[in-house]
Amino acid sequence: MVMDSELGAWLRQQREDRGWDKREMARRLVDAGRAAGDSSMPAVDGMYHNLHRWEHDGGVSERHKLNYCRVLGIHPSQFGPRPPGETPDAGPTAGTVPATPWPAVTEPIPACTTGWSVPVLPVPSTSAYREREEPGMGLFAVEREVLMAAHEGSDHAAEHEQHGIGEATLEQLRADLVRLSSLSDTGAPLSTFMDMRRVRDRIYRLLDRRLWPGEQADLYFLLGCINELMGLTANRLGYPDAAEELIRAGWAYANAIGHDPLRGMLRARLSYVMYWRGWYSESRDLAADGLRYASQGLVGANLHLEHARALARLGDPDAARREVGLAHAARETGQSDGLFEIGGEEFALSRAATCSLAGGALAEVGDGREAAGELETAISLYDAGPGPGEQHGVAGQALAGVDLAVVRVRSGALDGAAVALEPVLILPPAQRVSTLTARLARVRDEIAAPVFRGSAQARDLGDQIEEFGREAVTAGLHSLSGLS
């Protein structure tokens, strides 16, 4: 016999294992019920209060038990805690459900999805928090628990601020943005994306309040920045459609408050996504449009470089070289754009990243020597470490190495290409993002040229690139629920 208090604890555990706060769970339950045809589902606020009561006292009705099963992706026989020694029934074996932390469950209960989302990472039962330290608890599980506690504390504090949203809440959101920008450079992209989404959802909830115009503008700025980071991360995970949608959402917020540097940055990001989709004209036009808003400083430099790369691909080498020169000049102006303080290579383009992007553009022009010079400078700057106020990203350094490998292969220097790829090919799977695997495919295409036919070194390098892709973080994502 399961006590109501045990059921409440089980419900809370299931929610926290998935990294959802109470309001996110409430929204999912409402969506699940409505998707199943239940027109009498309460609003999110009402479900939030129900959820609070259920997690303390149990007492969930049969109607809502089914909605819980839909949201959790489990068979009804698995709902609730089990008495000691009893094994949960896996349910019927016909049909399938989207991927969940319990893949053996195969009853076709529709799962609730709310827009584009990332999968829930599996959390072994031995590592879930049980009000005591577990020796096998992984770092991701620890981080999730700590962040959940912090977010819940911030939410509670925000609800009790007397006027608007309060400076304490804004300060915390700004700190979250700085942290997320840093994580986008150095963290594992999948867990980082999930954290970005939690912060964004919190801002959405704050926008439901009655706010002063200045407070709303502050939140719009934060949303523009976070959507930019989410779009970049989605692209790294191999979802350019979602990346484009997220970046355009960020543009809408930046446009609403007339923030020119942010508008320029978002145009640079979208230009980048379009370029690597093979849509070079669109990439060129987006970069040119962005230069209307920011032609100097770090954002201006980024836009000139995206413009250069697209122009090179479209067969205008002179214009591409000119844009590379303008990028270096724009960076040296030292013009402040209000985004530098956020940090990270996405908001504060480092000298290393500038040289890396310039080298990539010149490689497209066919200037092998100039391109190699820029890329070798980039790698030496990365090796030396960030300058004052800079941060170096793992992906940025790796991309410079891959582009240099392409240049060296084209000149016939297989040994040099292998040296450039050494630090790239040993990256851990969590940092093997889609942008890297796509660039490495270009190296593989280059070494497949007739001149390298029969070369054992070329064959070995190709095998290493294949292995890199098989172990990449993106390798299994496209078969998971909520990503396709």
pLDDT of the chain, 484 residues: tens digit per residue: 456 678 888 898 899 888 888 888 988 998 888 888 777 788 887 788 788 888 877 778 877 888 899 899 888 888 888 766 555 444 433 333 333 333 333 333 333 333 333 333 333 333 333 233 333 434 445 555 555 565 555 555 555 444 457 788 888 999 999 889 888 877 678 888 999 999 999 999 899 888 888 899 999 999 999 999 999 999 988 899 999 999 999 999 999 999 999 999 999 999 999 999 999 999 999 999 999 999 999 999 999 999 999 999 999 999 999 999 999 999 988 666 677 778 776 787 889 999 999 999 999 988 789 999 999 999 999 999 988 878 888 788 899 999 999 999 999 999 999 999 999 999 888 788 888 888 999 999 999 999 998 899 999 999 999 988 887 766 655 443 333 2
Q: Cα–Cα distance between 168 and 162 in angstroms, integer?
A: 11
Q: Which residue has the tokens 């040993």?
A: 426
Number of C-beta neighbours around residue 133 at 10 A: 8
* Shared-domain flag, residues 252 and 186: yes
Q: Select from 275, 281, 303, 272 the least CA-distant residue to 290.
A: 303
The residues, any chain, with a CB within 8 Å of residue 422's CB and separated by 6 or more, are none
Identify whether residues 33 and 77 lie together within a single domain: yes
Contact 246, 238 (CB under 8 A): no
164: helix, strand or coil = coil
Two tokens, residue 13: 């555990």
- Could you say which of 392, 417, 448 is where a domain stops? 392
d(CA 462, CA 448): 8
Same domain, 208 and 109: no
Do both 194 and 228 map to the same domain? yes
Cβ-proximal residues to 171 (8 Å cutoff; 6+ apart), any chain: none
Residues 273 and 244 in one domain: no
Q: What is the pLDDT of residue 105?
A: 31
438: amino acid identity, one letter: A
Q: What is the pTM of this model?
A: 0.66
108 and 156, same domain (yes or no)? no
Q: How many CB atoms lie within 10 A of CB 9?
A: 17
Report which of 254, 389, 270 is spatially closest to residue 334, judged by C-alpha positions: 389
Which parts of 41-138 fold into alpha helices (H)? 44-57, 62-72
Q: What is the predicted pLDDT for the residue at 334? A: 67
For 226, phi and psi rounded to 5 degrees? -70, -40
Q: How far apart are CA 419 and CA 26, in angstroms?
A: 52
Residue 289, domain CATH: 1.25.40.10
In a 13 Å sphere around the CA of 110, the CA atoms on its Cβ side amount to 12
Whether residue 131 lies inside any domain: the answer is no
Examine the domain organization and report whether 381 and 269 are in the same domain: yes
Last residue of a domain, one of 205, 224, 258: 258
| Rounded distance between C-alpha atoms, residue 172 and residue 193, angstroms | 18
238 and 289 share one domain: no
Q: Is residue 84 part of a domain?
A: yes
Phi-psi region of 102 (alpha: psi -120 to 50; beta: other; left: phi over 0): beta
Whether the Cβ atoms of residue 264 and residue 286 lie closer than 8 Å to each other = no
Give the span between the Cα atoms of 229 and 185, in whole angstroms. 10
In a domain, 286, yes or no: yes
- How many CA atoms, within 13 angstroms, populate the side-chain half-sphere of residue 484? 8
419 and 369 belong to one structural domain? no
74: which 2 tokens? 């489990």
Domain range for 23: 4-114
- What CA–CA distances, in Å, run from 444 to 56, 369, 402, 458? 57, 21, 11, 9
Q: What total number of domains does the chain contain?
A: 4
Whether 133 is covered by a domain: the verdict is no
What's the length of the chain?
484
One domain for residues 105 and 153: no
Q: In this predicted structure, what is the pLDDT of residue 5? A: 72
CB-facing half-sphere around the CA of 254: CA atoms within 13 A = 24
**The tokens 């093979």 sit on which residue?**
278
pLDDT given at position 416: 94
Domain identity same for 270 and 338? yes
φ, ψ dihedrals at 286, nearest 5°: -65, -40
Q: Is residue 379 included in any domain, yes or no?
A: yes
Kindly state whether residue 132 falls inside one of the protein's structural domains: no
Task: Report pLDDT for 391.
Answer: 82
Domain contains 363? yes
- Which of 359, 392, 425 terminates a domain? The answer is 392
Q: Which of 19, 55, 16, 43 is nearest to 198 (CA)?
A: 19
pLDDT, position 151: 55
The verdict on residue 333 lying in a domain is yes
What 8-state DSSP symbol labels residue 36? T
Same structural domain for residues 285 and 352?
Answer: yes
